[in-house]
Every structure is written in C-alpha cells, then in structure tokens.
C-alpha cells in the first residue's frame, strides 16, 4: 500500500511535468503555424531577415552601361535599416557606395572579403552581409553593413565524429539526470506521503475502534493530524457513552420486564378468578379486583407512554405547540392537582409565587408533564413527612424552584440523574417507574430552550432550578 501510494504520487508529478512541457511545445508550434499560415505576428515579428534583405537588395542596384547606381527605394530601405552599402567589381574595387562610414576600405582582396564577412571589421555594433549582382557577362559583389548592437552572427564549425562523441556523452548525462530526477522525486514523494501513510493507519485504527493511539503531528498535514486526534478523542468518549447507555438499557429492560410482568400477572390472575365459574365473588370483591386490574393497566399504559414520548423527544419528532401561558397559574394548578390526589393529601407542599402573572411562550401540556414529574419525584423518593416548596419568580427569565428537605441524592447518582433508563437507589419497591421521568423532564425543558439544574446533598434534600 505504501509503495503504491508513493509510486502514484511520483507518477503524478512526472506526468504533470511532461504534460506541461507537451502543452507548451504544442502551443508554441500552433502559434507559429498560425503566424506562418495567416500572416499574423504572434510568435515572431513578421520581419525580413538580414540575410534575405541582403539577397533581395540586388533588385535595388541598377547597372546601365556598366554604371552602377542605387535606386531611391533602396536608399530609403538602407536608411530604415541604419545600413550602408559598397558595390565592388570583379577585382574587388568599390565602384559605388552609400552611407559608408569612415575608415572602410575601398578595395578588397578575396581574403579581405572573407574577413569582412566572418568578423566585425568595422565596429562592434555593425554586422556585414555579402550579396551578388549579375549583369550580362559581369558579376558584382556588394557589402551591406547593418549597424545594430542586437544583431549578431556566428560562424560555426563542427566535426561529425566530435558530434557523435558529444551525443553519446550527452545521452549518458541525460540518463544520469533522469535517474537523479527520479531519485529526488522519490525522496520528495516519500517525504510527502509518509504522513499520509500515518493518517491512513490512524483512520484504520479508528475504524477498528482503537481510539487510544494518538498520532504525532507531521509536516504540512499538522492540522489534519490534530483534527484526527480530536476525532479519536470524541469517538472514544462516544464509545464510552454508548457502552454506558447500552448497560443502562440492559438494566432498564430487565427492570421494566420484571415490572411489567408483575402487573400483567396480577391482571391475568384476577381476570381468570373473576371468570372462573367455580368462584362466587361478591360485588364488592369484584369491584376490588377490577380496581386492581385498572391500576395495573394504568401503570403499564404510563410506561408505554413514557417510552413513546422519550423516543419522540430524542429524535426531535415531537411538535412543540407554543402559546403564551401564565406560569403562576400553571404551577398553582399542578400543585392543587397533586394535593387533591388522595394518596398525597397529607403531604406538605407549599406554593410560593412572588407575583401573580409571569408569561412565557411554551407548550402547556408538555410543560405540565415535566414539572409534574419533578414534583412527583420529590414525593415518591422521600419519606411521607418531607416538605416540598414550589417557588416561581421573574428574573431575566421565568425562574422556578422545586425544593425538598428529604433524603437527597448521592453524588455519583446526581451525575446520571438525567440519563435515560436510569433508576436511583432511592426508588422504592412501591414506586418503581419507567426510569424515564427525569430524562423526559430534561428533554422537555431543553426543547423550550430552557435550562434545568439539580443541586442535592445526601441527607439534606434536593433543589431543582428551572429557567424558561
């Protein structure tokens, strides 16, 4: 895998270089063809070369009765080129000239002509070109010197044997250069791909649930390594939470299974007894048994409703129907309903509002369910003589307190109080619930963009604070 990744990286670098070279060459040839075909100056300026200008200048030299003259057009072209002209007969004597600088010879031997053509014999800025003009049985030669410091001519001599040797040496050097380039490319690619190998291994570890292997940040991928490490930490925390939740679910399923089997057994037993013709129950006995069946059925129904509600709250499928309500009125009605319950008629529950009207935007049904759960928790998890105080006041937001002086909650349990399926050790046999009441209350408060906090000390009671 590592060699494959390094090879692909190296191949991609080489292909990019080759592709760039190919595109540049292709574009250059294409532009040159367009210039030559359509006479558009794209690559090179459309201008006659000095050699071609010299050859074509013979048309500007006129010979009449062996008298040599230069046409006006030729003179203008020489002026435009910043050039001068010397015309010589067959003996090398200058018989016509134009714009010749001082110090230039007026008669040339064959050696002088070669020297003049090959080397700059006039000055460092002038390059001399030679041409020929024929007229009848006579032939004339001419020099055109172009004064242009950017114009240069070099005479090249070469030996085929030397060229061949140079080609062989160049081929060896080229192969060595390719090998060096590949080695450098490999080292460069390896250095860049090593962190990728580490990243791939790290991601494999995450996929295999190996979250405890931190990766050291490397090179240009430092931020990527940091993010992967953060992901590893988050996945590790999520895995712990998942295991804890799975354990709670297993415990909850075992408890709920037991709790549901017990009322179902009662329902089944009393139903069989009532319908059995061998038994002759009085009306009072039938009503008593029917009451027990109803009570057990309501318990099972409450458990099912809690399950349905917590699932919808968790998946955010529950629609919150908000409207303006008076929280003082709502809390007062909740307290009155609980006190009117015959089971709790003798409990000490006080309602202490600081004012008579505190408006909030909320779903009254859901909020009633949450607050009722919290008050019932204070009742059923404490002794009958517990005192419960329900307060409400207006700060920056509606601020509610449900406080008791009961048993309190252990510190290790307080951190799990809002976990789904969790039952505290204070839950007595007579008051086993679904284990979802506190989680439902928390979810409802959060669904209203509110905050809920619990403060408790074992043996000194519990204080629940709600802000909406």
Q: Which domains does the chain have, with CATH numbers?
A: 2-44+158-192 (no CATH), 59-147 (3.30.450), 220-309 (1.10.287.130), 319-467 (3.30.565.10)
| Contact between residue 378 and residue 409 where contact means Cβ atoms under 8 Å apart | no
Quote the pLDDT of residue 358. Answer: 93
Q: CA-CA distance, 468 to 452, in Å (whole number)? A: 9
Q: Tell how far CA 101 is from the center of its chain.
A: 73
Six-digit token string for 134: 């024929």
Quote the pLDDT of residue 361. Answer: 92
| Average pLDDT by stretches of 10, the chain with 468 residues | 60 70 77 64 61 88 85 90 89 89 86 78 82 81 88 74 81 80 71 68 74 63 74 81 78 71 83 84 86 85 76 72 92 91 87 92 89 90 91 92 91 77 50 67 88 90 93
CA separation, residue 381 to residues 38, 186, 376, 405 (Å): 99, 72, 8, 12
CA separation, residue 3 to residues 126, 186, 198, 202 (Å): 61, 10, 14, 18
Quote the pLDDT of residue 41. Answer: 58
Quote the pLDDT of residue 429. Answer: 41
Quote the pLDDT of residue 428. Answer: 44
Residue located via tokens 């080292």: 187
Length of the chain (residues): 468
The radius of gyration of the chain's CA atoms, rounded to the nearest angstrom, is 52
Quote the pLDDT of residue 193. Answer: 66
């Amino acid at each position: 895998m590592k060699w494959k990744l390094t090879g692909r990286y190296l191949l991609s670098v080489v292909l990019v270089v080759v592709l760039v070279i190919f595109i540049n060459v292709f574009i250059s040839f294409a532009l040159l063809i367009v210039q030559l075909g359509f006479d558009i100056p794209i690559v090179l300026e459309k201008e006659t070369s000095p050699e071609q200008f010299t050859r074509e200048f013979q048309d500007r030299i006129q010979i009449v009765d062996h008298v040599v003259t230069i046409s006006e057009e030729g003179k203008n072209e020489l002026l435009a080129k910043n050039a001068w002209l010397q015309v010589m007969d067959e003996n090398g004597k200058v018989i016509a000239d134009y714009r010749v600088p001082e110090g230039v010879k007026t008669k040339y031997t064959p050696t002088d002509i070669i020297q003049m053509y090959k080397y700059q014999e006039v000055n460092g800025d002038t390059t001399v070109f030679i041409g020929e003009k024929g007229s009848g049985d006579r032939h004339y030669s001419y020099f055109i010197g172009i004064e242009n410091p950017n114009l240069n001519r070099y005479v090249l001599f070469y030996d085929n044997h030397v060229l061949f040797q140079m080609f062989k040496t160049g081929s060896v050097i080229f192969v060595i250069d390719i090998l060096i380039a590949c080695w450098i490319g490999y080292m460069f690619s390896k250095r860049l791909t090593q962190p990728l190998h580490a990243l791939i291994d790290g991601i494999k570890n995450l996929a295999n649930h190996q979250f405890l292997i931190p990766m050291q940040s490397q090179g240009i991928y430092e931020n990527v390594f940091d993010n992967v490490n953060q992901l590893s930490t988050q996945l590790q925390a999520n895995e712990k939470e998942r295991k804890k939740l799975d354990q709670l679910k297993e415990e909850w399923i075992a408890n709920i299974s037991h709790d549901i089997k017990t009322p179902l057994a009662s329902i089944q037993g009393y139903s069989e007894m009532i319908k059995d013709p061998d038994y002759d129950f009085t009306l009072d006995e039938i009503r008593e048994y029917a009451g027990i069946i109803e009570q057990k059925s309501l318990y099972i129904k409450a458990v099912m409703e809690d399950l349905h509600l917590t699932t919808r709250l968790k998946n955010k499928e529950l629609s919150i129907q908000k409207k303006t309500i008076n929280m003082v009125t709502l809390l007062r009605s909740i307290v009155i309903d609980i006190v009117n319950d015959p089971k709790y008629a003798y409990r000490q529950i006080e309602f202490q509002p600081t004012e008579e009207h505190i408006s909030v935007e909320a779903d009254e049904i859901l909020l009633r369910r949450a607050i009722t759960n919290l008050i019932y928790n204070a009742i059923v998890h404490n002794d009958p003589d517990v005192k419960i105080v329900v307060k409400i006041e207006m700060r920056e937001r509606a601020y509610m307190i449900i406080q008791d002086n009961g048993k309190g909650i252990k510190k290790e349990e307080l951190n799990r109080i809002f976990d789904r399926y969790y039952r505290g050790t204070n839950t007595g046999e007579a008051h086993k619930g679904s284990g979802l009441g506190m989680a439902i209350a928390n979810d409802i408060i959060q669904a209203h963009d509110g905050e809920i906090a619990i403060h408790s000390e074992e043996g000194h009671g519990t204080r629940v604070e709600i802000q909406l």
